[in-house]
């Protein structure tokens, strides 16, 4: 099968997929899905962000719409699914990619709103969206739900706070439980656990020296590119991956199998 037909006939909703060339993993997932023949609903919080990715997809000949909305708001999240189905007649793939790191502070200094903001986007959003998408997927007897968690779900985030680690571990628990519930209906539910990934945001906020230091703590000696995350999402979204459900795939250059020498890792990361 040609790579451009891998997702032919499928409709994907990708949250946090905006900002086009300046976007992160979500924008890369939109591009890779568009190249594979999917019609793509691109969500983000501003029209400027969604349109940047829609323009990129259209330039490569893919069909796309922009959907402005906040995944942490129940009504807004539900309307993303409704508008996708209204426009394209179905929803085959839901990628819960939108996520925030939140305020980085020790637990004793975290305010209630710091905790709640991260849980709202990283955990409640995927719940609202999956709950809204599953009835459509059940009717089709086909669905792919892909949750972008984090390596922090398996270990501990060294760059974010406890609320980030907690939200991503909970997203992984939600993934496992939902997989057991819905796989009988032809719907797979999986998580991707990116390690350090060189998204434009990460590039903008770290110096080349800091990036070098972090890379030394990774067996592959580098961070992942957004496309390397996107191609794992493409595999999970494909028809051929129908028996893969309830798994978490680390994309981390082997960090997750490092021996747990936290002192050495902290020295390397300068923490
Ligand atoms: N970059 C990394 O190293 C890394 C590592 C592990 C996991 N992750 C996870 O991968 C995902 C993507 O990360 P990224 O680095 O590409 O981030 P990013 O900040 O570049 O992109 C996230 C996108 O989500 C959008 N967004 C934020 N809140 C939203 C909301 N409430 N509703 C809709 N959209 C919203 C943002 O506007 C942005 O475009 C996140 O879930 C993040 O936690 C990133």
- Give the chain's end-to-end CA distance (angstroms, integer): 47
User: Which is the closest atom of ligand 1 to the Cα of 19?
Assistant: 39
Q: Ligand 1 center to residue 77 CA distance, Å?
A: 16
pLDDT tens digit sequence for 220-241: 999 999 999 999 999 999 999 9
- Specify the residue with its C-alpha closest to ligand 1, atom 42: 99
Q: Ligand 1 center to residue 177 CA distance, Å?
A: 23
DSSP E strand boundaries for 88-203:
93-96, 143-148, 187-194
How many Cβ atoms are within 10 Å of 262's Cβ, its own excluded? Answer: 12
Among 33, 88, 128, 164, the one annotated catalytic = 164
Find where tokens 């972008």 sit. 148
Q: Ligand 1 center to residue 174 CA distance, Å?
A: 18
Q: Ligand 1 center to residue 146 CA distance, Å?
A: 14
Closest to 65 measured CA to CA, from 75, 76, 54, 73: 54
- Of the pLDDT bands very low, low, confident and very high (cuts 50, 70, 90), residue 258 is confident
Question: What's the order of all strands across the beta sheet hosting 64-68?
Answer: 64-68, 39-44, 11-14, 93-96, 143-148, 187-194, 248-251
CA atoms of 238 and 234, how far apart (whole Å): 6
Lining ligand 1 with CB less than 6 A are 15-16, 18-19, 23-26, 43-45, 49, 70-72, 97-100, 121, 148, 150, 194, 196-197, 199, 201-202
pLDDT score recorded for residue 261: 59
pLDDT tens digit sequence for 104-120: 999 999 999 999 999 99
- Span 45-68, average pLDDT: 98
Q: Which fold has domain 3-199+224-259?
A: Rossmann fold (3.40.50)
Find where tokens 């110096």 sit. 207
- The tokens describing 7, both together, are 């997702």
What is the average pLDDT score of the chain?
94
DSSP assignments along 42-101, one per residue: EEESSHHHHHHHHHHHHHTT--EEEEE--TTSHHHHHHHHHHHHHHHS---EEEE-----
How many Cβ atoms are within 10 Å of 82's Cβ, its own excluded? Answer: 13
Residue 164 appears among annotated catalytic residues:
yes
Within 13 Å of residue 236, how many CA atoms lie on the same side as its CB?
Answer: 28
- Specify the residue with its C-alpha closest to ligand 1, atom 18: 24
CA atoms of 168 and 99, how far apart (whole Å): 9
pTM value is 0.96
User: Which is the closest atom of ligand 1 to the Cα of 168?
Assistant: 43
Closest to 160 measured CA to CA, from 105, 88, 222: 105
How many Cβ atoms are within 10 Å of 83's Cβ, its own excluded? Answer: 17
- The tokens describing 112, both together, are 């209630």
pLDDT tens digit sequence for 162-194: 999 999 999 999 999 999 999 999 999 999 999
- Specify the residue with its C-alpha closest to ligand 1, atom 1: 197
- Specify the residue with its C-alpha closest to ligand 1, atom 24: 16
Domain boundaries, the chain: 3-199+224-259
How many Cβ atoms are within 10 Å of 246's Cβ, its own excluded? Answer: 15
At residue 22, φ and ψ (nearest 5 deg) are -90, 5
Q: Ligand 1 center to residue 139 CA distance, Å?
A: 30
Read off the DSSP letter of residue 197: B
User: Which is the closest atom of ligand 1 to the Cα of 202?
Assistant: 1
What is the β-pairing status of strands 187-194 and 143-148? parallel
């Amino acid at each position: 099968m040609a790579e451009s037909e891998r997702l032919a006939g499928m409709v994907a909703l990708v949250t946090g997929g905006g900002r086009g060339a300046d976007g992160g993993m979500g924008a890369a997932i939109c591009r890779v899905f568009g190249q594979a023949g999917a019609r793509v609903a691109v969500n983000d919080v501003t029209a400027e962000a969604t349109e940047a990715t829609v323009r990129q997809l259209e330039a490569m000949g893919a069909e796309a719409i922009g959907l402005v909305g906040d995944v942490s708001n129940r009504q807004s999240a539900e309307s993303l699914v409704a508008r996708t189905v209204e426009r394209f007649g179905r929803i085959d793939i839901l990628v819960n990619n939108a996520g925030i790191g939140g305020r980085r502070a020790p637990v004793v200094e975290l305010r209630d709103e710091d905790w709640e903001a991260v849980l709202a986007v990283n955990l409640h959003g995927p719940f609202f969206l999956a709950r809204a998408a599953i009835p459509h997927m059940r009717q089709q007897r086909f669905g792919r739900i892909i949750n972008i968690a984090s390596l922090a779900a398996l270990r501990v985030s060294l760059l974010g706070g406890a609320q980030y680690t907690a939200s991503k571990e909970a997203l992984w628990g939600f993934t496992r439980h939902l997989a057991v519930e819905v796989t009988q209906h032809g719907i797979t539910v999986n998580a991707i656990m990116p390690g350090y990934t060189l998204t434009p945001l990460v590039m903008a906020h770290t110096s080349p020296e800091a990036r070098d230091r972090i890379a030394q703590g990774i067996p592959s000696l580098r961070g992942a590119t957004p496309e390397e995350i996107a191609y794992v999402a493409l595999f999970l979204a494909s028809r051929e991956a129908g028996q893969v459900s309830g798994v978490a795939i680390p994309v981390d250059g082997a960090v997750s199998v490092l021996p747990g020498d936290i002192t050495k890792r902290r020295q390397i990361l300068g923490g």
